[in-house]
Amino acid sequence: MTTYRKIILVALILAFGVVTLGAYVRLSDAGLGCPDWPGCYGKLTPHNAADAINAELAVRPDGPVSHAKAWKEMVHRYFAGTLGLLVLAIAMLAWRGRREMHGGLGLPWLLLGLIVFQAMLGMWTVTQLLKPLIVSSHLLGGMTTLALLLWLWLRERGQSAHTYYASSDHLRSGALLGLILVAMQIGLGGWVSTNYAALACPDFPLCHGAWVPPMDFEQGFTLHRNLGETATGELLPLSALTAIHWTHRVMALVVTLYLGWLVLRLMRSPGYAGMGLAIGGLLVLQVSLGISNVLFGLPLAVAVAHNAGAALLLSSLVVLNYRVRRR
């Protein structure tokens, strides 16, 4: 099973890259760089589709299509496609070695099903013109793929190394709640990003000069609508974008307070001080990046780092939950 574990590790690293690259594509407005799927104007590469891209640029020079955006979009697809092949290999190897599998086939085959659904979401992201619900679901699917691959790798590594951890029954519920809160915050962050609401509150810590500014939660959290529009097709008002952004900020405060408490518990638990330091450090980094996005006007590098930081914080909570459930 050595090859099996190596493939899982490669897939795990690639999944983190795909999540980060997907954020870069989204934040650099390259999501429609190639307006069809899975190719680019029916071609394998933007180079082969140069004539079609030039024709689109001639009609709409400021539109969503350009050579640079097309390459960004297609590189993301190449990486995602490679990840899909690796997950397929993991599922097939798990089936072949099922008699030696201690954890069963459920997780490898769940990953395969998820990666197929992710591919469909990637297609719908383009064909449905970046609908927020689809793009947000695609982001959450990527994070879930990363988390499940990490859990699978930890499980296989633990079985190989016969790793044991200190008694941690008292940490189980706290670790699980922390993971749930971080997942919810990532979902809210994805909703902020896919609705382009990151700068809806241009000041910090206030929002439009108030702790509770005018907000339209109904329009902001209507799921089935087009990008930048209400459910009836009108322009989405600033108050709706403000509601999305403000909710993400409030949830960030909740997550920060809870994880701060959890870190203190970990620091006082034998064998978990290192985990506490790691989670605490990632939490401080995430909060700093989030505030920097507002104060500096959403620099691309900072915004992408914020997405990568969310993936790392989620991963740290996955590791913690694995450890507290394994002796």
Catalytic annotation, residues: 73
Determine the number of helices (DSSP H) and then strands (DSSP E) in the chain. 10, 0
Identify any residues that bridge with 43 across adjacent strands, giving them in sequence order: 40
Angle, nearest 10°, between helix axes 50-59 and 67-96?
Answer: 130
Cα–Cα distance list, 98 to 95, 102, 112, 115, 161 (Å):
5, 8, 16, 21, 19
- Alpha-carbon distance of 21 to 321, in angstroms, equals 26
CA 9 to CA 77: how far, in whole Å? 20
Question: Residue 106, Cβ neighbours under 10 Å: how many?
Answer: 10
CA distance 178 to 163: 24
> Which three-class secondary structure string do you get for 75-91?
HHHHHHHHHHHHHHHHH
Instruction: Determine the Cα–Cα distance for residues 297 and 302; give it in Å rounded to an integer.
Output: 10
Handedness of CA 230, 184, 190, 122 (dihedral sign): negative
Q: How far apart are the first and last CA of the chain?
A: 22
| DSSP conformation class of 232 | T
